[in-house]
Structure 1
Amino acid sequence: MENVKPTILNEQEAEKLERIAFILKTVAHPLRLGIVHLLEQHPRLNVTDICAALGPRAEQSLVSHHLQNMKLKGILSVKRDGRSMMYSLKERDVSLIIECLENCQCNM
């Protein structure tokens, strides 16, 4: 067996892994994952619609807190539409990472 040296990550690869880790930490909550899943299906939703779709355990104050957190961290974007604030996914990367995790053959 030959001695294989591990390759050192270049700066670009290291930055990419840091970005993935940042996204995973940001969405690592069942309610946040639910919000991302909804916004994949419906590109623009307001907090009332998100709460209704997530069900009775999704109180508006809690959902608003999670939306604000994800907006501040660059995962979501928000635009005013009349009296409503409409949320949408800012980057497709979030969906791709979650889709990859959903499709993995992990034994849980």
Structure 2
Amino acid sequence: MNMPFAAVPAKTKPTGSGEMLENLQRTTDFLKSLSHPARLVILCRLAEGPACVGELEAVLSIQQSAVSKQLARLRKDGLVGFRRDGRTMVYSLNDDRARGIIDALYNEFCTGTQVLGPE
């Protein structure tokens, strides 16, 4: 079941076990999309604003083809969108839930004020 996440209602209560299983599958698909290191970096960068492939390539320090592969997955999952600017593709974050999770992860792991961590 590879539905774009943006098409899934954000807050629905399951009415039965079948619906609950569907919701769980969508949740795990969503988290899988976020869990790849390159995709997570792309989403973090796009949370700051739109970017082209070249900018993302510089941030990730990986080849353009690898960036494009991860962007294709994020587009398929409905998390990012793009627009053409001449010959350049400009990508942006499309999913408010992903933005919320990115913000929460940033606050937890990137601000230096972590409550939990290795002891």
Same fold judged by TM-score > 0.5? Answer: yes
Larger radius of gyration: 1
2:14 matched to which residue of 1? 11
Question: How many angstroms apart in 1 are the aligned matches of 2:104 and 2:23?
Answer: 16
Q: How does 1:70-81 map to 2 (within 5 A)?
A: 70-81=74-85
Q: Does the CA contact (< 8 Å) of 1:23 and 1:75 recur in 2?
A: no
Q: 1:54 aligns with which of 45, 49, 60?
A: 60
1:1-108 equivalences in 2 (<5 Å)? 10-11=13-14, 14=20, 18-41=25-48, 43-55=49-61, 58-102=62-106, 103=108, 105-107=115-117
- Conserved in 1, the CA contact under 8 Å of 2:47 and 2:102? no
Q: Return the offset for 1:18.
A: 4.9
- Alignment: residue pair count: 97
Asked whether the equivalents of residues 26 and 70 of structure 1 are also in contact (C-alpha less than 8 Å), the reply is yes
Deviations 1:1-26 (A, max 9, x none): xxxxxxxx942794765544332111
RMSD: 2.6
SS in 2 for 1:11: coil
Per-residue Cα deviation, 1:14-66 (whole angstroms, up to 9, x for no partner): 4765544332111211111100111111x2111011111222xx111101000
Unaligned runs of 5+ in 1: 1-8
Q: Which amino acid aligns with 1:49?
A: E
**Where do 5+ consecutive residues of structure 2 fail to align?**
1-11, 109-113
